[in-house]
């Protein structure tokens, strides 16, 4: 039974925390809800159903969830028909404890059974009791589910789910399971369908994208997949996140350099520059291997923008270890970095390791790392002043600032660019070519008259208020539609 069978159109709101995997899963949750007859709430505070898609990796994830659930309790008491559902990694971890701590929650579902959500909501309504369903392994590959995409011009395409690594700071493998790979034909069919909808940019998504293919016996599959995207008409930008240094091979670098629509941007998680700490983290590469990859990428693509993840204060980290991290930062010349102060995550080996670093020491090291990174990213951005760039105007970032007359978007290398519009009226999804005039540590400005403005089908769709909601399908057929792009992170494994 769907909500439409009940003769009413209940509203929903999805609230997402965490990595790109969760963002993409939330699009599937929205697709499932609308497929079952719900409509997105115009006012999220008045939604009949609120779904929390949670993260168990980031610091204070538990407190954030239960705090938000507490804020919703008075609203639910005033509206007895309201339902609250909790899914994602924290739901997979805490299971029935969520209902014990917050008895007003109606549904708890895990990372492996997103597709059960509408049925669980109906069952909870009928039985007037909480429903908790957590599967231990993947029920169906998520691409088979209906998806309501959030963008007309850029989107995630999952090439795998799960992770086979055993990093001691990360709980993701326990919550998302072993890696499961999609077949190349299915992935390419989805990408091609997206471009037919007007999508210009696709990000290939997995917990460890460059181990893709191991499940079906082809360890060169990821490089082949990148090259194959070059044959898809209308696809202008291809990105991927996130690779693991231990699996990063020369054929992938060659595919990036030789495939015109693959962007010269790379997110390569470092975590630590110390070999001793990397060993304790169970990161199966060392400093010189990591820097060797960076050197090869820069030799093949001198204009490559390389970003990373760094954890400060991992258990046992000494000042000498931290200095090694700073040394890698100096040598790698990252264009940006996602930086984290280590915090214990229950269920991870690192949480019980001795020699936990005092908070004051971690904070001091973190501050020094940020200062160095800002110095480097600013210097690297200054080198780009005077260069011509192609900017894909972005939602949110694409709103015009009335004071400055600028709009914003992303260059091909992923950098954020604020650009003057002159007499032009670009829309999110359009392409603007302009010249950079100013550099800051985290963005670039282009204050001159744009050189050109290309209107796109994605811009037309945005202007018309059209965002695709199409059925997910199995048997190698694609799921169509697209989300708005986010800055790269390492799919949860970085934190």
Query: What is the tens place of the pLDDT at every residue in 323-332?
Result: 999 999 999 9
Q: Please count the other Cβ atoms lying within 10 Å of the Cβ belonging to residue 393.
A: 27
The fraction of the chain above a pLDDT of 90, given in percent, is 65
pLDDT at 399: 60
In DSSP notation, 430-468 reads -EEEEE--EE-SS-EEE-S--SEEE--HHHHHHHTT---
Q: Which two tokens stand for residue 263?
A: 């962007």
DSSP string, 131-150: EEE--SS-SS-GGGS-EE-S
User: Is 55 assigned to a binding site?
Assistant: yes
Question: Averaged over 289-299, what is the pLDDT?
Answer: 98
- 158-173 burial string, b = 16+ CB within 10 Å, else e? bbbbbbebebbbbbbb
Mean pLDDT within 128-142: 81
Task: Categorize the per-residue pLDDT at 155 as very low, low, confident or very high, splitting at 50, 70 and 90.
Answer: confident
Half-sphere exposure of 80 (CA within 13 A, CB side): 2
List the structure tokens of 403: 């004071």
Locate 191 and state its tokens: 């990408």
* Average pLDDT along the chain: 88
CB 348 within 8 A of CB 309: no
263 is in an annotated binding site: no
- What is residue 298's predicted lDDT score, i.e. its pLDDT? 98
Least confident of 173-187, 215-229, 327-341: 173-187
Confidence of residue 142 (pLDDT cuts 50, 70, 90): low
**And the tokens for 214?**
């191991």
pLDDT tens-digit series, residues 259-281 = 999 999 999 999 999 999 999 99
pLDDT at residue number 273: 98
Domains of the chain (ranges; CATH) run 3-139 (3.40.50.12160), 388-457 (2.40.50)
Evaluate if residue 395 carries a pLDDT over 80: no
Q: Is 493 annotated as a binding residue?
A: no
Q: What is the pLDDT of residue 400?
A: 66
Most confident listed range (149-153, 339-343, 394-398): 339-343
Q: What does the alpha-carbon distance between residue 240 and residue 209 come to, in Å, rounded to a whole number?
A: 7
Percent of the chain scored above 70 by pLDDT?
Answer: 89
3-class SS of residue 18: coil
pLDDT at 473: 33
For residue 383, pLDDT over 80 is answered with: yes
Tokens of 337: 């970095």
Q: What is the pLDDT of residue 485?
A: 34
Helix runs in 45-109, H state only:
61-78, 89-94, 97-101
What tens digit of pLDDT does each residue of 42-80 get? 999 899 999 999 887 766 677 788 899 999 999 999 998
Q: Tell whether 170 is in a known binding site.
A: yes
Structure pTM?
0.82
- Terminal Cα distance for the chain, rounded: 40
Task: Please state the rounded mean pLDDT for residues 373-380.
Answer: 98
Considering only residues 305 and 21, tell me which one the structure prediction assigns the higher pLDDT: 305
pLDDT at 136: 79
Residue 6's pLDDT band, with cuts at 50, 70 and 90, is: very low
For residues 235 and 200, the answer to whether their CB atoms sit within 8 Å is: yes
Could you tell me which residues come within 8 angstroms of residue 428 by beta carbon, excluding any fewer than 6 positions away?
A: 151, 152, 153, 393, 394, 395, 398, 409, 458, 459, 462
- Per DSSP, helices labelled H in 269-347 are 275-281, 287-300, 319-332
**β 305-312/265-267 pair status:** parallel
Instruction: Tell me the mean pLDDT in the region 234-244.
Output: 95
475: pLDDT confidence band, cut at 50, 70 and 90? very low
């Amino acid at each position: 039974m769907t909500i439409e069978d009940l003769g009413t159109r209940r509203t929903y709101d999805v609230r997402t925390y965490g990595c790109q995997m969760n963002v993409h899963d939330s699009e599937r949750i929205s697709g499932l809800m609308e497929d079952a007859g719900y409509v997105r709430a115009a006012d999220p505070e008045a939604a009949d159903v609120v779904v929390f898609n949670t993260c168990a990796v980031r610091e204070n994830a538990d407190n954030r969830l239960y705090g938000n659930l507490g804020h919703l309790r008075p609203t639910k008491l005033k509206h007895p028909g309201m339902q609250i559902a909790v899914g994602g990694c924290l739901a997979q971890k805490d299971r029935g404890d969520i209902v014990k701590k917050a008895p007003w929650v109606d549904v708890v579902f895990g990372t492996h059974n997103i597709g059960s959500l509408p049925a669980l909501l109906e069952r909870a309504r009928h039985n007037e009791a909480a429903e908790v369903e957590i599967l231990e392994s993947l029920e169906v590959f998520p691409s088979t589910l209906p998806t309501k995409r959030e963008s007309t011009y850029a989107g995630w395409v999952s090439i795998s789910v799960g992770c086979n690594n055993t990093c001691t700071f990360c709980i993701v493998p326990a919550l998302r399971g072993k890696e499961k790979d999609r077949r190349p034909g299915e992935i390419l069919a989805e990408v091609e369908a997206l471009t037919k909808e007007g999508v210009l940019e696709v990000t290939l998504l997995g917990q460890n994208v460059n181990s893709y293919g191991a499940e079906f016996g082809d360890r060169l599959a990821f490089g082949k997949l990148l090259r194959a995207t070059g044959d898809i008409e209308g696809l202008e930008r291809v990105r991927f996140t996130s690779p693991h240094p231990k699996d990063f091979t020369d054929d992938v670098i060659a595919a990036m350099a030789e495939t015109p629509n693959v962007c010269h941007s790379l997110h390569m998680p470092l975590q630590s520059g110390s070999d001793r700490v990397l060993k304790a983290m169970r990161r199966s590469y060392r400093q010189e291997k990591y820097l060797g990859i960076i050197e090869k990428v820069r030799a093949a693509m001198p204009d490559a923008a390389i970003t990373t993840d760094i954890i400060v204060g991992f258990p046992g980290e000494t000042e000498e270890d931290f200095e090694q991290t700073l040394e890698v930062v100096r040598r790698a010349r990252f264009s940006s970095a996602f930086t984290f102060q280590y915090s214990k995550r229950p269920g991870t080996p690192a949480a019980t390791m001795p020699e936990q670093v005092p908070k004051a020491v971690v904070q001091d090291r973190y501050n020094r790392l940020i200062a160095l990174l800002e110095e480097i990213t600013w210097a690297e951005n200054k080198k780009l002043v005077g260069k011509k760039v192609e900017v894909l105007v972005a939602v949110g970032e694409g709103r015009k600032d009335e004071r400055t007359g600028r709009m914003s978007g992303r260059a091909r290398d992923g950098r954020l660019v604020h650009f003057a519009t002159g007499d032009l009226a670009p829309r999110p999804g359009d392409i603007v070519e302009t010249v950079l005039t100013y550099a800051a540590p985290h963005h670039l400005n282009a204050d001159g008259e744009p050189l050109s403005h290309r209107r796109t089908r994605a811009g037309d769709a945005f202007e018309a208020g059209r965002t695709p909601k199409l059925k997910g399908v199995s048997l190698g057929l694609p799921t169509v539609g697209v989300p708005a792009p986010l800055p790269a992170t390492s799919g949860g494994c970085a934190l």
